[in-house]
């Protein structure tokens, strides 16, 4: 009988399984609550995919971006894109994207549910994800009346209203990630939020970063009573003063912002810092005079921008000076009566010098029309 020869199975090429851990660490991550998947609208796969695209592409930090040959200054939680481009990112298995009309209808639905705010321009649509700060900010310890346990930090989780749940579904904070630490340590995620600069590229640097932070998370389900109490407290936080400031802002800027958390967040924060209602109203009047006639800057006449914590002190100081000098108008980007003096041309300087010499030496008369 012949000898049976067993042939070795061909070795298949290694399968490409997405990005490596180092790539993930450089690109960062965004937080997605599990309660998002429980929302009724999330059963629509196209809407869910579009929403994940929006929160994934939104700017993690304020800064400039270049889009279609123009420079845009985006705030945290904003992105600029066209309906056509967004639709092309929602392809099916045959490579067919969502058409422009369908994308516009979907964005309009998100805006109607209070999940995004849209501001269209001839060059693209600026989409702002509502509650982005509450959703992506670092976790803070929260006291609850249920059994708690200490866990490691989970950067990006909060106890605010989960983004993408407009129907009031109670939020359940996610359990911290486990087993993702590169050094086999405490399980805290070693990647940075999307958009944040990443400098930890070695195992030792990751370990040093983890030991410098001491945030603890208390994770437990939120009862219906706790959720109702939290919403009641949040509604009480919208003071009469904040509504008065917003109404005055709408009046002087010709806007129609409603008394919603997105519009009132920075107003309440500035009032809590001790600034008066008159201060906030003065800044609204000052920035409206400064920016209203400028088509580019007029886009930033929003409560979220004018009352931003990093800008408001400078705006208030400038507004007080503006009021002291009589509230001048802003014409072509310059305050009326305080225009910068342009330097004299070489010819004008020579004429002045010649006039001075003639006056000093008692020579012949000289006027502006005398050739040099």
Give one DSSP letter per residue of 151-198, joined into a string: E---TT--SSPPTT-TT-PPP-PPPPP-S--TTSSS----SPBTTS--
The pLDDT > 70 percentage for the chain reads 59
Q: What is the mean pLDDT of the chain?
A: 71
Residues 6+ apart with CB under 8 A from 79: 54, 57, 58, 59, 126, 127
Residues 159/161/163/169 CA torsion (nearest 10 deg): 110
Q: What is the pLDDT of residues 311-357, one digit of tens each?
A: 899 999 999 999 999 999 888 778 887 655 556 667 777 777 777 87
Half-sphere exposure (Cβ direction) of 358: Cα atoms closer than 13 Å: 14
Give one DSSP letter per residue of 287-328, joined into a string: HHHHHTT-TTGGGG-SHHHHT-TTTHHHHHHHHHHHHHTT--
- Residue 248: C-alpha distances to residues 21, 114, 210, 289, 290 (Å): 50, 23, 46, 14, 16
**Cβ pair 99, 87 in contact under 8 A:** yes
SS3 of residue 210 by DSSP: helix
**Cβ pair 58, 118 in contact under 8 A:** no
**Cβ pair 315, 287 in contact under 8 A:** yes
User: Looking at residues 46-58, what average pLDDT do you find?
Assistant: 89
Cα separation of 170 and 221, whole Å?
9
Q: How confident is the model at residue 232 (pLDDT cuts 50, 70, 90)?
A: very low
Domains belonging to the chain, first-starting first, are 21-135 (1.10.10.10), 237-335 (no CATH), 343-372 (no CATH)
Task: List 150's β-bridge partners, or say none.
Answer: 218
User: Looking at residues 156-162, what average pLDDT do you find?
Assistant: 41
Q: How many residues does the chain have?
A: 372
SS3 of residue 351 by DSSP: helix
Q: Does the pLDDT value for residue 285 go beyond 90?
A: yes
Q: How confident is the model at residue 249 (pLDDT cuts 50, 70, 90)?
A: very high
Region class of 146: left (phi > 0), else alpha (psi between -120 and 50), else beta:
beta
Q: What is the pLDDT of residues 286-311, one digit of tens each?
A: 999 998 888 888 888 999 899 999 88
Nearest C-alpha neighbor of 206 from the set 173, 171, 181: 181
User: pTM for the whole thing?
Assistant: 0.37
For 300, counting Cβ atoms within 10 Å of its Cβ (0-12 exposed, 13-18 middle, 19+ buried), the class is middle
User: Looking at residues 195-221, what average pLDDT do you find?
Assistant: 41
Token pair listed for 13: 């090429």
Least confident of 69-78, 147-156, 185-194: 147-156
- Model pLDDT, residue 282: 95
Bridge-based pairing of strands 330-331 and 334-335 is antiparallel
Going 237 to 243 to 245 to 246, the CA torsion angle's sign is positive
Q: Does the pLDDT value for residue 223 go beyond 50?
A: no
Cα separation of 372 and 369, whole Å?
9
Nearest C-alpha neighbor of 54 from the set 170, 168, 136: 136
**Cβ pair 268, 242 in contact under 8 A:** yes
Nearest C-alpha neighbor of 36 from the set 224, 169, 136: 169
Token pair listed for 170: 């109670």
**Cβ pair 175, 33 in contact under 8 A:** no
Q: Does the pLDDT value for residue 141 go beyond 80?
A: no
């Amino acid at each position: 009988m012949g000898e049976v020869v067993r042939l070795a199975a061909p070795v298949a090429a290694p399968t490409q399984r997405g990005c490596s851990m180092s790539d993930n660490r450089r690109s960062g991550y965004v937080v997605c609550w599990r309660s998002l998947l429980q929302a009724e609208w999330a059963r629509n796969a196209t809407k869910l995919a579009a929403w994940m695209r929006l929160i994934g592409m939104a700017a993690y930090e304020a800064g400039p971006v270049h889009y279609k040959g123009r420079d845009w200054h985006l705030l945290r939680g904003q992105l600029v894109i066209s309906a056509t481009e967004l639709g092309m990112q929602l392809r099916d298995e045959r490579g067919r994207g969502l058409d422009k009309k369908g994308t516009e209808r979907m964005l309009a639905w998100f805006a109607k549910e209070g999940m995004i705010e849209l501001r269209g321009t001839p060059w693209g649509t600026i989409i702002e994800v509502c509650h982005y700060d509450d959703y992506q900010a670092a976790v803070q310890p929260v006291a609850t009346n249920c059994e708690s346990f200490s866990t490691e930090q989970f950067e990006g989780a909060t106890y605010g209203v989960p983004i993408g749940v407009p129907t009031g579904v109670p939020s359940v904070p996610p359990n911290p990630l486990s087993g993702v630490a590169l050094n086999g340590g405490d399980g805290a995620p070693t990647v940075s939020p999307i958009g944040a600069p990443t400098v930890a590229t070695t195992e030792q640097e990751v370990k040093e970063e983890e030991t410098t932070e001491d945030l603890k998370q208390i994770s437990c389900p939120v009862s219906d009573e706790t959720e109702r109490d939290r919403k009641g407290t949040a509604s009480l936080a919208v003071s009469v003063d904040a509504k008065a400031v917003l109404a005055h802002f709408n009046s002087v800027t010709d806007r129609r912002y409603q008394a919603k958390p997105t519009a009132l967040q920075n107003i309440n924060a500035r009032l809590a810092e001790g600034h008066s209602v008159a201060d906030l109203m003065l800044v609204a009047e000052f920035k409206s005079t400064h920016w209203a006639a400028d088509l580019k800057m007029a886009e930033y006449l929003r409560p979220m921008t004018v009352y931003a914590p990093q800008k408001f002190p400078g705006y208030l100081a400038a507004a007080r000076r503006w009021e002291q000098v009589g509230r001048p108008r802003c014409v072509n980007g310059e305050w009326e009566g305080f225009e910068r003096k342009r330097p004299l041309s070489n010819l004008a300087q020579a004429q002045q010098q010649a006039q001075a010499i003639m006056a000093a030496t008692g020579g012949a008369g000289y006027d502006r029309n005398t050739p040099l």
